[in-house]
Amino acid sequence: MLRREVGGLAWLVLSGASFVAMSSLMKLPTLDLPTFEVVFFRSTVACLVYLLVLKKCRTAIPRLLRSHRLIWRSLFGFASFGCYAACLANMRLSDVSGLFYTTPIWSFLLGLIVLKERPERLLVTALLLGFCGMLLVVRPSLQLATPWLLLAVLGAGLGSLATMSVRLLVVDEHPAAIAAGFMAWSTIMAAPLALMNWTWPSPPALTLLAAIGTFAAISQLSLTEGYRRARLVSGTAFDFVRLPMSVAVGIVAFGEQHGGTTFLGLALVAAGSILSVLGASGGRERARE
């Protein structure tokens, strides 16, 4: 059980890294396309990746498209990512990532209240350290007090509902099938919105869209596999590990400037991540006893 929980956290790290890579590509000037067109291509490419690489998805997708639980998961996830993509086009990458890191707070509460998971004290401490670290990195200010901030918070709340839905779905469904079904529904939902303001992408943009969809496929599959193995309270506390990745990409690729406060915040995130692993390990050991 211990190896299963820690293995789940490793899958969540891979999911976070893939998500940051996808988000970074979406910020490139070459990808000058309407938001929902990018979302449409992201989902379509991810679906193709699943269908080509994972045989199980070819038979599971038609069945899962009729699943009410998957429909709700897809609605929450699609709306959350729509908010994320819209904010990403109007805010710094690290700011958007930081604001969306209120998702672990809501997910933690959902795991506690709805799923009746009992978090260890170390996990609570880890969550608080990660959240405080995020605040030091983002440093909310009046400059951020815009409609985009409110949209980001809404997207974070929807994201937490999507994450909880994944945790419920993995009890009965294969992770690859859940990820593929979500992307299939996302394609269906994004299509009419993309067609309203369609712009034919250039060859360089098509290359970027293919990479975005591939990273999205990896991210969703890893996320689902991670929550098949780990509890929601464990995974959400570990979710802040994406923030250092986002900051690093922002500095290297986009020339974003950060001071000592940022690195203090990243140190807190690192400490919280270590405590998350220790807390998850301790919880599984006590459960086994």
Q: How far is CA 41 from CA 91, 109, 144, 190, 202, in A?
A: 22, 33, 29, 9, 13
Q: Which range among 83-92, 142-151, 171-180, 230-239 shows the weakest confidence by mean pLDDT?
A: 142-151
Q: Which pLDDT score, from 0 to 100, does residue 243 have?
A: 77
Cα distance between residue 103 and residue 4, in whole Å:
23
Confidence category of residue 207, pLDDT binned at 50, 70, 90? very high
Confidence category of residue 150, pLDDT binned at 50, 70, 90? confident
Q: Which range among 11-15, 162-166, 239-243 shows the weakest confidence by mean pLDDT?
A: 239-243
Q: Answer whether residue 196 shows pLDDT above 70.
A: yes
Q: Which range among 16-25, 126-135, 247-256 shows the weakest confidence by mean pLDDT?
A: 247-256
Q: Answer whether residue 192 shows pLDDT above 60.
A: yes
146 versus 48: which is more confidently predicted?
A: 48
| Mean of pLDDT over the chain | 82
Q: How far is CA 125 from CA 77, 110, 119, in A?
A: 27, 17, 10
Quote the distance between the C-alpha of residue 249 and its chain's center.
16
Are residues 124 and 273 in contact, defined by beta-carbon separation less than 8 angstroms?
Answer: no
89 versus 179: which is more confidently predicted?
A: 179
90 versus 58: which is more confidently predicted?
A: 90
> What tokens appear for 79 in the block?
């709306």
Confidence category of residue 1, pLDDT binned at 50, 70, 90? low
Q: What are phi and psi of 33, to 5 degrees?
A: -130, 155
Instruction: Give the whole-number percent of the chain exceeding pLDDT 90.
Output: 18
Handedness of CA 208, 24, 181, 10 (dihedral sign): positive
- Rounded to two decimals, the pTM is 0.80
Q: State pLDDT tens for residues 210-264.
A: 999 999 999 999 999 988 888 888 787 777 777 788 888 878 777 777 778 888 9
Q: Answer whether residue 3 shows pLDDT above 70.
A: no
216 versus 130: which is more confidently predicted?
A: 216
Q: Which pLDDT score, from 0 to 100, does residue 285 have?
A: 44
